[in-house]
Amino acid sequence: MGRQPCCDKVGLKKGPWTSEEDKKLINFILTNGQCCWRAVPKLAGLLRCGKSCRLRWTNYLRPDLKRGLLSEYEEKMVIDLHAQLGNRWSKIASHLPGRTDNEIKNHWNTHIKKKLKKMGIDPVTHKPLPNATEQTQTQPEQQQQQQLVHQPLLEQHQQQSFPVDLDSKLEPEYDHNKEQEKPETSFESSTITEAKEGDQIMTPLLDSMELMNVFSTDEVPIIEPDEIPVPCVPSISSTSTSSSSSSSSNSSNFLEDLLLPDFEWSHNYNNNTIDNNKDNNNTNMALWDDDFIRSWDLLVNDDNDGDRKQVFDAALYQYPRMIMDSESWDYGLF
């Protein structure tokens, strides 16, 4: 017996989301929280299927999402995690606060894959490509990069012997042969601890980054149990970001459209981080604090549409509670 479709698809809209639809969905979620997705479109007045709404929310509208290109650090982390987890994008994403599996998957397919190939690394196995030697010999710069990006991560995995707790639930059933040759960095040498229930994320990468003096542990987006991760903010400053957003004339620009040109999200948040990531423009994790609330208020007050303002006002003060109540909220911290 085949599975029934998640919804009656007749008359449902498909394709890119319009800003109107985004507004409706945001208003609904902010007001009511994440409930049964199947019911969302009907209640929110959307001609979309629930699945589509969930996807739109989790991938693009959630306020805690970072936008913009992955930083070099994030990219390294993705490579590192991919070497250990394979194409389990959601697992990888769980180690990168503010990033979605879809985003990481896309970035992998469009950027990292090519980069690794250029560097003479097989993006599937994370081993040197057969002709890598020749390549790297003729491309010393790339070789240098390869050493910088990959070697430290992989070798440290092998050298260090931390307790293995990577995905222990999933690991036994995970068939590496199914998708790829078992990577050099096997689970046996893995050091990543699954980030769940507020556990601290421990990755070899973080250690290596420390060693490399690139990031201090203070700057690493480790979420402590007593920290509230923050609904973060779309990166406005990142014009680069919008490599993506610019491409979509309507929907993806919605949040940016909402933002005033000189509007700054949560001024207090981790200024150090900002300073240290000027080039990347995408470290936007912020604390859900008064400033953030005020920012929303500011945003809302600037809107001429009175009705919408009301909706947002209501939603604004409910949202933190909604997050606290929502068991499904990412990172499982609440």
Q: Which residues of the chain form contacts with DNA (CB under 7 A)? A: 1, 3-4, 6, 9, 13-17, 35-38, 48, 50-52, 54-56, 58-60, 69, 87-91, 101-103, 105-107, 109-111, 114, 179, 243-249, 251-252, 328
Report the residue number, 51 or 294, with the smaller CB distance to DNA: 51
What are the φ and ψ backbone dihedral angles of 124, each rounded to 5 degrees? -90, -50
Residue 313 Cβ, how far from DNA at the closest point, in Å?
26
Report the residue number, 32 or 58, with the smaller CB distance to DNA: 58
Calpha distance 241→264 (Å, rounded): 16
State the virtual CA torsion across 139, 143, 145, 148 in degrees, nearest 10. Answer: -170
What are the φ and ψ backbone dihedral angles of 121, each rounded to 5 degrees? -115, 135
Report the residue number, 40 or 209, with the smaller CB distance to DNA: 40
Calpha distance 182→227 (Å, rounded): 36
Report the residue number, 16 or 130, with the smaller CB distance to DNA: 16
Dump the DSSP string for 7-58: S--TT---SSPPHHHHHHHHHHHHHH-S--TTTHHHHHT-SS-HHHHHHHII
Contact 155, 206 (CB under 8 A): no
Residue 146 Cβ, how far from DNA at the closest point, in Å?
19
Residue 294 Cβ, how far from DNA at the closest point, in Å?
28
Q: Go through 232-267 and write b for each residue having 16 or more CB atoms within 10 A of its CB, e for each that does not.
A: bbbbbebebbbebbeeeeebbbbbbebbeeeeebbe
Q: Go through 64-84 and write b for each residue having 16 or more CB atoms within 10 A of its CB, e for each that does not.
A: bbbbbbbbebbbbbbbbbbbb
Contact 210, 204 (CB under 8 A): no
Which own/partner pairs from 90-93 qualify as long-range (CB within 8 Å, at least 24 positions apart)?
91/167, 91/170
Residue 322 Cβ, how far from DNA at the closest point, in Å?
15
**Helix (DSSP H) and strand (DSSP E) numbers for the chain:** 17, 0
The two three-digit tokens of residue 302, written as one number: 């600037």
Residue 2 Cβ, how far from DNA at the closest point, in Å?
7
Residue 6 Cβ, how far from DNA at the closest point, in Å?
6
Residue 148 Cβ, how far from DNA at the closest point, in Å?
21
Report the residue number, 96 or 316, with the smaller CB distance to DNA: 96
Residue 244 Cβ, how far from DNA at the closest point, in Å?
3
Report the residue number, 64 or 101, with the smaller CB distance to DNA: 101
Report the residue number, 111 or 309, with the smaller CB distance to DNA: 111
Residue 193 β-bridge partners: 165, 202
Report the residue number, 56 or 95, with the smaller CB distance to DNA: 56
